[in-house]
Amino acid sequence: MNATEAIEKRSSTRSYTPEPLTEDEVRALLRAGLAAPTATNRQELHFSVLRSGNALLQRIEDEKNRLRGARPDKNFYYDAPLVIIIGAESSFRWSPVDAGIAVENIALAAEELGLGSVIIGCIYDALCGEKAGYFNHALGFPDGYAYEIAIAVGHKAAEKQPHTFDFDKQVTFLP
Ligand SMILES: Cc1cc2nc3c(=O)[nH]c(=O)nc-3n(C[C@H](O)[C@H](O)[C@H](O)COP(=O)(O)O)c2cc1C
Backbone angles phi, psi at 48, to 5 degrees: -105, 125
Q: Whose CA is nearest to atom 18 of ligand 1?
A: 12
**pLDDT tens across 114-161, in order?**
999 999 999 999 999 999 999 999 999 999 999 999 999 999 999 999
Question: Which atom of ligand 1 is closest in space to residue 14's alpha carbon?
Answer: 11
Q: Which of 164, 162, 124, 148 is nearest to 13 (CA)?
A: 162
Three-class SS of residue 156? Answer: strand
Has residue 48 got a pLDDT over 90? yes
Our answer on whether the CB atom of 21 is closer than 6 Å to any ligand 1 atom is no
Full-model pTM: 0.97
pLDDT in tens, 61-106: 999 999 988 887 899 999 999 999 999 999 999 999 999 999 999 9
* Strand, helix or coil for residue 48: strand
Distance CA 170, CA 61 (A): 35
Question: Could you state, in order of their start, the residue ranges of all structural domains in the chain?
Answer: 3-170
Query: What angle separates helix 95-112 from helix 23-34, to the nearest 10 degrees?
Result: 140
Instruction: Supply the pLDDT for residue 67.
Output: 95
Residue nearest to atom 9 of ligand 1 (CA): 120
Query: Whose CA is closest to 83, among 130, 133, 139?
Result: 139
Query: Does the C-beta of 12 come closer than 6 Å to ligand 1?
Result: yes
Distance CA 7, CA 17 (A): 23
Q: Which fold has domain 3-170?
A: NADH Oxidase (3.40.109)
Residue nearest to atom 19 of ligand 1 (CA): 12
